[in-house]
Amino acid sequence: MNYADLFRATLPETALEVAALVVLVVDLGLLRKAALKARLAVAALVGVAGCGAALWAVLLQGTEGLSYQGTGELLLTTGGFTAAAQVGILALTALTLMLLIDANFTRHVGEYVAVVLMAATGGLLIAAAQDLLVIFVGLELLSLGLYILTAFAKRSGKSAEAALKYYLFGGMSAAFLLFGFSYLYGITGSTNLHQILLAVYGWDAFHAAPLLYVSIVLIAAGLGFKVAAVPFYLWAPDTYEGAPAPAAAFIASVSKVASFALLIAISTAALHVFDGAHAHMIARVEIHTYLAPQPIYLGFLIPWSLILTVLSAASMVLGNLAALAQTSVRRLLAYSAIAHAGYILLGLAFFSYSSRSAVAVLYYVLTYGLTTVGAFGVVAVVERATGSDKMDAFLGLHKRNPVLAAVLLVLFLSLAGIPPLVGFWAKFNLFAAVLGVSAGPVAFGLVALAVALSAVSLYYYLQVLKRAYVMQGVDDTPIKAHPVTLAVLVGIAASVVVLGCFPALLTGWIGGFAK
């Protein structure tokens, strides 16, 4: 135990927590009498500054990274892909805070920003965690924050309903996760990810194979809930619809990045252990099948990949098909998020030993998060002006606010995967990585399915764009957006275009984090 090490390893988290406290003090203490606008601006500014400080702390840790060991076992690592994910989390958090600038859904600005920062802290922890307990603490910190954020529009019935649903489902899935963790601990006697995975290949876990599979299923259920994979997706449409727009953007981006960073960590660890124990395990399997005609012991990696594959295929199909039937843009974004989670899970199911898959998945999640934040930003502005998030609220948007319409065009086409926008490169990278791992019929079939379904997805994205650009509007009064909001949205759209035209920029940057 060394507190100096702990402090250094958790410097970004600490920075965010301090910022959260500062926001509370400033907003509740100093600005009690100030106007809502001023409070929003100050709170958002402090929040963004906190993210900046945390970002600086992450970069300070360097790509080599630090690790913190508790009583002999590794709790946290930084650097590497963890750092890349953390940078993404902080940048996206800052963007969602900037979109807060002209929000009107709450008077409790300080609390809102503080909760956002605490949830982001949870995200940072998850991305860095190497221990089941830290993972769980991080997840709970993030999730509790998200439940509160969803309920923040106190005057809206939808917001309360969404928060309650989210909370109930979330509590259930956390219970599943914890249950799975407890089995894992029971089998292997450790809470450290590496120790567990090592032990899983040993003789002890071998006897407890059924229990191991149960725990893998439970864990996949718990994490599948976080990334809104089918069949654990039911909360997503309601939450995306009911939550205040900046909160929905946060849920759709930051929480996704953190959860996928965790999945990357698990898959990476499983593969690295697998590599070490491979020969060993094969020998065990042979002996075992020879001695007793019991089910073959598959270790951790194969069932893990299998269950991710199933989740992936189900999410792609259901997400894309259900999105076709939506009339609310927020619900459409929710189903499209499920579909995108399906693509990403495919990349995780066929994970490569080299860093290629990790880079591809991170690239996908980060760019997807960026695009979604922008999309929710546009939805928020339109919603404020028209009072609705139905597709018909977007009628004639190109006349009412041409800049906003252009941003929407770029972001939605990117989500559909049209080159040269970044969404296309994300997909291409990911699918190429999958085929790089396995060119067998299963991998190929799933990639073909994913590509075919992204052709389907163009239909529903065009449904929205059609209203914005093609159909006659009923109301041509201009929609005004706050200059800061507009600047953020234009910046996001511009980066989607630039990153798409120069895809090597971001892959190179993420690849630079590979240890």
**Binding positions for another protein, rule: CB under 8 A:** 413, 418-420, 424, 428-429, 431-432, 435-436, 439, 444, 447-448, 451-452, 454-455, 458-459, 462, 466, 469-471, 503-504, 507-508, 511
3-state secondary structure 201-263: CCHHHHHCHHHHHHHHHHHHHHHHHHCCCCCCCCHHHHHHHHCCHHHHHHHHHHHHHHHHHHH
Contact 48, 76 (CB under 8 A): no
136 or 350: CB nearest another protein: 350
CB of 431 to another protein, least distance (A): 6
CB of 386 to another protein, least distance (A): 22
Task: Report residue 328: phi and psi, to 5°.
Answer: -95, 130
Task: Report residue 129: phi and psi, to 5°.
Answer: -70, 145
CB of 418 to another protein, least distance (A): 6
CB of 455 to another protein, least distance (A): 4
CB of 434 to another protein, least distance (A): 9
Contact 237, 340 (CB under 8 A): no
What residues does 69 pair with on adjacent strands? 74
Q: Max Cα separation, the chain?
A: 79
133 or 471: CB nearest another protein: 471
185 or 469: CB nearest another protein: 469
**How many whole angstroms separate alpha carbon 407 and alpha carbon 409?**
5
Could you give the C-alpha distances from 28 to 39, 96, 116, 117, 328, in angstroms and in order? Answer: 10, 21, 16, 16, 36
List, in order, residues 6 or more apart from 110 with CB less than 8 Å away: 23, 24, 26, 27, 28, 39, 43
19 or 411: CB nearest another protein: 411
Task: Report residue 187: phi and psi, to 5°.
Answer: -70, -45
Six token digits for residue 362? 């991170």
237 or 396: CB nearest another protein: 396
CB of 462 to another protein, least distance (A): 6
Six token digits for residue 225? 């809930």
**How many whole angstroms separate alpha carbon 224 and alpha carbon 217?**
10
222 or 423: CB nearest another protein: 423
CB of 503 to another protein, least distance (A): 5
120 or 415: CB nearest another protein: 415
CB of 237 to another protein, least distance (A): 24
21 or 432: CB nearest another protein: 432
57 or 468: CB nearest another protein: 468
CB of 470 to another protein, least distance (A): 4
Task: Report residue 355: phi and psi, to 5°.
Answer: -80, 0
191 or 457: CB nearest another protein: 457
Contact 216, 300 (CB under 8 A): yes
Could you give the C-alpha distances from 3 to 69, 136, 137, 263, 402, in angstroms and in order? Answer: 10, 21, 19, 28, 54
Angle, vertex CA 56, rays to CA 53 and CA 62, nearest 5: 150
Could you give the C-alpha distances from 500 to 111, 428, 452, 495, in angstroms and in order? Answer: 37, 11, 21, 8
**How many whole angstroms separate alpha carbon 363 and alpha carbon 365?**
6
Q: What single-letter amino acid sits at 245?
A: A
The total of other beta-carbon atoms located within 10 Å of residue 79's CB is 20
143 or 429: CB nearest another protein: 429
CB of 417 to another protein, least distance (A): 9
154 or 466: CB nearest another protein: 466
CB of 442 to another protein, least distance (A): 14
CB of 311 to another protein, least distance (A): 22
Rama region for 419: left / alpha / beta (φ>0; ψ in -120 to 50; rest): beta
Six token digits for residue 357? 């898959």
